[in-house]
Amino acid sequence: MIDPIPFATYSCVMWLTPGPNNVMLTASGANFGLRRTLPHMLGICWGFALQMLAVCAGLGAIFSRWPHLQDGLRWLGAAYLVWLGWRLLRPAGRTEGHVPRPLTFLEAAAFQFLNPKAWVMNLTAATLFLPPELSSTAAAGYMLLWGVLMPAPCVLLWALFGTSLRAVLAQRRGRLAFNSAMALALGVTAVMMVR
């Protein structure tokens, strides 16, 4: 019989600890509110689940064979985080044709394939928690179920945390300080990704 508790515990711990997704969700919740951050949250969940299916289907073996592919993704992910941090530092409102907006569903889903924490989580999950006694279709369904269900409440918490800071962000100085801190966190994460 399959015991989902270890996998659920691992997933919960990994999703609740800070990482690129959580920093971006906090910033999005703070700057745009929960409703406008919802596509970002859903994109993370579905992109992560799609990545999990890809890993279970053998993409992890490709990275083991050609590690330079994963290095390239790591650099792309780091560059994307730096770009997102730069976007956070731009003044709010319409300036020089810039209208701030949250990440879309597709942008958030695609980011999972550049996010090294997501790769580590999925490769570890497939290695440790993929039930060998299930058929490949049932195992993929099991992993997909957990890949969508576990992130949902965790990403909601990070977005709500950001939303709770909206009062601070109503003042220009508070918004500048918060966005600078989030941009710095994304920059530090980017550096840590490529070390």
**Spatial contact of 100 and 31, defined as CB atoms under 8 Å apart:** yes
The pLDDT of residue 193:
64
At residue 32, the pLDDT reads: 93
What is the pTM (predicted TM-score) of this model?
0.77
* CA–CA distance, 140 with 117 (Å, rounded to integer): 21
In a domain? residue 9: no
Distance CA 134, CA 93 (A): 52
How many CA atoms lie within 13 Å of 77's alpha carbon, on the beta-carbon side? 29
For residue 78, the enclosing domain spans 30-91+103-194
**Any idea what DSSP says for residue 94?**
-
Does some domain include residue 153?
Answer: yes
- pLDDT at residue number 1: 64
Helices (H), 17-102: 20-54, 60-65, 67-89
- With respect to residue 62, please indicate whether it lies within any of the assigned structural domains: yes
- Tell whether the torsion through CA atoms of 110, 111, 112 and 113 is positive or negative: positive
180 falls within a domain: yes
Q: Please list the pLDDT of the chain residue by residue as tens digits (195 residues).
A: 677 788 888 888 889 888 889 989 999 999 899 999 999 999 999 999 999 888 877 766 776 677 787 677 778 777 877 887 787 777 554 455 666 789 999 999 999 998 888 888 888 887 777 777 777 777 777 777 777 788 999 999 999 999 998 887 778 887 788 778 878 877 887 777 677
- Please name the helix (run of DSSP H) or strand (run of DSSP E) that holds residue 116, with its range, or none: helix 116-129
Please check whether residue 191 is in contact with residue 78, taking contact to mean a CB–CB distance below 8 angstroms. yes
Q: Which pair of structure tokens corresponds to residue 46?
A: 């579905």
Q: Tell whether 135 is covered by a domain.
A: yes
Could you count the other beta carbons within 10 Å of the beta carbon of residue 50?
Answer: 18
Residue 14 resides in a domain: no
Q: Is residue 74 in a domain?
A: yes
Q: How far is CA 106 from the centre of its chain?
A: 12
pLDDT at residue 98, as a whole number: 60
pLDDT score recorded for residue 88:
73
Helices 172-194, 67-89: inter-axial angle, 10-degree rounding: 170
pLDDT for the residue numbered 5? 81
CA distance 166 to 74: 32
CB atoms within 10 A of CB 122: 26
Specify the number of domains making up the chain: 1
What is the token pair recorded at 179? Answer: 């966005």
Phi and psi angles of residue 66, each rounded to the nearest 5 degrees, phi first: -125, 80
In a domain, 6, yes or no: no
Is-contact 13 121, C-beta < 8 A?
no
Position 26 scores a pLDDT of 93
pLDDT value at residue 169: 77
